[in-house]
Structure 1
Amino acid sequence: MEQLVDWLSQPWPWYVAGPMITLVMVLLLLTGKSFGVSDTLRTTCAMGGAGKVSDFFNFDWKKQVWNLVFVLGAVVGGFIAATWLQQPNPIPLAQDTVQELQRLGISNPGASYLPEDIFSWESLFTLRGFILLVVGGFLVGFGTRYAGGCTSGHAISGLSNLQLPSLIAVVGFFIGGLLMTHLLLPFILTL
């Protein structure tokens, strides 16, 4: 049993994870469904009766319950991974990356997947934490709605269906990610 837990706590190689993602996509295509996490909020709002207020939420949400089960599974899986499958060793980062992150104010880069200097309740009440967590979260939500889906929906499902809007959205996600990483994040981390 201990060997199984050790195996599960390691990152899965591409030749395991890739075919599993492909299998999920094939099953979704065969059942006429599309993959995306951002629809879960719409489904939840529709379940709560938001369709009485806005036509956007006025649809048959019962056909989307599978999406809620998927998100619940992701939350439960995240809990299991964080509680029982934690990797006790530091994350192997290149020395240049460690030095750059330390220069930007991250005190112990690589000690955990989410640096506590950014992702903690104490950080939330700093200017840097507020910008990254609250403003960033709002922008992700707005961008998801504006793009008509999230990164997983467009990059995995939309590209699998050869949808041009998904290709445009994914190109935009990458450009935005590069701009954030190389221009905005270094500025925000020095606040």
Structure 2
Amino acid sequence: MEYILEPWPWYVSGPCMAIVMFLLLYFGRTFGMSSNLRTLCAIGGAGKKAKFFDFDWKSQRWNLVVVLGAIVGGFIAHHFLSNPIDIDLSEATVQDLSALGFNDAGQSLLPPELFSWDSVLSVKGLLILIIGGFLVGFGTRYAGGCTSGHSITGLSSLQLPSLVATIGFFLGGLIMIHLIYPILF
């Protein structure tokens, strides 16, 4: 008998996230991946070049556990908890993706047209990585945090700037996918 893995239902994963957020708030900590990357840059000595990275990174060592957890959790999820069946996409979505140049839409979570080494190492792929990386880094700094920091920590602690930032993230995503992405591909 073959066992098919399903995503965790909301009533399991939601309370797990709430417990983690409660513990972070209780201990006076905040969550966000950009904080972790800032800590890594500070460890690497970036504080000598930019004041933003000049802080006591040792007080933020616990952030590195988040990075390690994301790496280990991603490995476990991919290798042990993934369901290898095709993704159930509507026919209209498959047609839209095919029109954008995605062959075999729904065959994998990471389409090779974007995530294969040939695509990434092409001129177009490298430009997307460099420009996209710069825009994400600039946007994260300008917004005072990343999507996970604002949308999880900020909203759970009822911060109005995080609500504004989260609305901006969603609007930016909609503009990107409906207006800019079709031009790029």
Structure 1, unaligned stretches of length 5 or more?
Answer: none
* Alignment partner of 1:122 out of 118, 134, 139: 118
Q: Which residue of 2 aligns with 1:52?
A: 48
1:52-100 per-position Cα deviation (integer Å, ceiling 9, x unaligned):
3332222221221111111111111111222233311001111110111
* Residue 135 in structure 1 maps to residue 126 in structure 2: no
Output the aligned Cα RMSD: 1.7
Runs of 4+ in 1 over 3 A off after TM superposition: 125-128, 130-134
Q: Percent identity?
A: 59
* Residue 188 in structure 1 maps to residue 184 in structure 2: yes
* Alignment partner of 1:85 out of 81, 84, 97: 81
Structure 2, unaligned stretches of length 5 or more?
Answer: none
Q: Aligned partner of 1:138: which letter?
A: F
The equivalences for 1:172-183 within 5 A come to 172-183=168-179
CA contact under 8 A between 2:100 and 2:182: conserved in structure 1?
A: yes
1:82-128 per-position Cα deviation (integer Å, ceiling 9, x unaligned):
22333110011111101110111000111111111111110123354
TM-score, with structure 2 as normaliser = 0.91
Q: Aligned partner of 1:26: which letter?
A: F
1:141 deviates by: 1.9
1:141-182 per-position Cα deviation (integer Å, ceiling 9, x unaligned):
221111111100001101111212111111110110010010
* Residue 65 in structure 1 maps to residue 61 in structure 2: yes
Alignment length, in residue pairs?
Answer: 184
Name the CA distance, whole Å, in 2 between partners of 1:132 and 1:152. Answer: 22
TM-score, with structure 1 as normaliser = 0.89
Task: Indicate the SS of the match to 1:89.
Answer: coil
Name the CA distance, whole Å, in 2 between partners of 1:94 and 1:120. Answer: 24
Task: Indicate the SS of the match to 2:18.
Answer: helix
CA contact under 8 A between 2:32 and 2:145: conserved in structure 1?
A: yes
